[in-house]
Amino acid sequence: MNRQCPFAIDALGGDVHAEAARVREQGPATRVLLPGGVSAWAVGRSADMRRLLVDPRVSKDAYRHWPAWISGEVGEQWPLAIWVSVQNMITAYGSEHARLRRPAAAAFTARRAAGLRPRIEEVVGELLEDLAASAPGGAVDLRTRFAHELPTRIVFELFGIPEHSWGPLHKIINAFFDTGITAEEAQRNAADLDVVMADLVAHRRRHPGDDMTSALIAARDTATDPRTATDARTATEPRAATAAADAGAGAGAAGAGAGLSEKELVDSLILLFTAGYETSVNLICTALHELLRNPAQLALVRAGLASWEDVVEEALRIEPPAFYGLLRFAVEDIDMGEGVVIGQGDPILISFGSAGRDPEVHGADADRFDVLRATRGQHLSFGFGTHHCLGATLARLECAVAVRRFFETFPAASLAGVGELGRVESFISNGLRELPVVLGPRASVAD
């Protein structure tokens, strides 16, 4: 293997950290093959990633800067097409990114996220009561019964998603992150997503409330953007076709007061609650798992030598909830140094997970979980630069509350069984497939 001879990224994420180490060893960027035979440059060194993530010569807009997508050489038949066909702030570039991020940032402020603490505490308490009642001293799967349930309730309530949509959305989100999915399965999932989202938006238009969905609908429906009178889409129209049309219209609509198209509204909602759910589930599982298998680290927290927030940052570093970021594109040739040039139009794969274990930043023991690590906060798990995750405050808060309350309630909890636990089959989503734990006795009120 060398930089010019690509190796295939494991679609099922069998050993993402070993793969990331190989990418780092190859230099500032190396050729890889994504599922479906798409060639890209993978970047695995923290310093190189930080530089690229703020470089104006790097775009996330496939409709403007990926020749293979523009020409149709890569299209909706690609199993991972949903990651570039959506039209929201995560795939936008330049002034378009600012236009699409603005209404979401206005609706989802750090203050609003912090204001959710009482509800998070309440939900965590209810979940812990359920665990204590249903499996006193027994073994439970904490991913299913705890880590999954907390962000489901918080994020779906935050977005005003009716309960009848929760089941279908979970199924769709799981397929969304399944990077081993076939093209046919991916297209069916995208169609199902359009139907569910059309139902959600219609429901919230009829019954607006104090939620993120209603806020974004209001931003879209009350805007002065001339497109808003004519651009409503039906769920049956192809994603790529509507996105291509909106991409052209959007370029001229950027600026203060520019509104969201109907597709931008829907795709923004998809981004916000999908990322808000998946990342939190993975993060909570990682933090719980690392403390359960490293009791000395838990002891440091209990002794007051480290905080629960330190646990969250080290969990983010060692196992980012999203391992790779799809996709970015070179607006022009980019000289990475060491004889490597990413050509104009070439796709770029950012390895957020690799940054967290880069020995140049975190030392030779970067693979070790250490809540006292001085560099625990120097990760890229929520991105960097203009595309930094809006939900970072909420994810951190959910995890800190969940882990603190769990160990306060079940101080003698331990892992059920020995050996490595299975991980989700994805090279994008990075988390445990299950987390079997023996709860042990519940703490008394005096404790």
Q: Is 278 designated active site?
A: yes
Q: Is 389 designated active site?
A: yes
The catalytic position among 398, 400, 402, 413 is 398
The catalytic position among 215, 247, 389, 413 is 389
| CB within 8 Å of 119: residues ≥ 6 apart | 154, 157
Q: What span, in angstroms and rounded, lies between the C-alpha atoms of 42 and 33?
A: 9
The catalytic position among 280, 351, 354, 381 is 280
Q: How long, in residues, is the chain?
A: 447
308, two tokens: 């629960």
Q: Vertex 136, ends 396 and 301: CA angle to 5°?
A: 35
**Amino acid letter, 16:** V
Of 99, 264, 278, the residue nearest 176 (C-alpha): 278
The catalytic position among 96, 149, 262, 278 is 278
Q: From its phi and psi, is residue 443 left (phi > 0), alpha (psi between -120 and 50) or beta?
A: beta
Q: Max alpha carbon distance in the chain (Å)?
A: 68
The catalytic position among 11, 104, 275, 285 is 275
Q: What span, in angstroms and rounded, lies between the C-alpha atoms of 156 and 166?
A: 8
Of 439, 431, 98, 133, the residue nearest 290 (C-alpha): 431
Contact call for residues 52 and 350 (beta carbons, < 8 A)? yes
Unique residue bearing structure tokens 């001085």: 374
Q: So which residues are the catalytic ones? A: 275, 278, 280, 389, 398
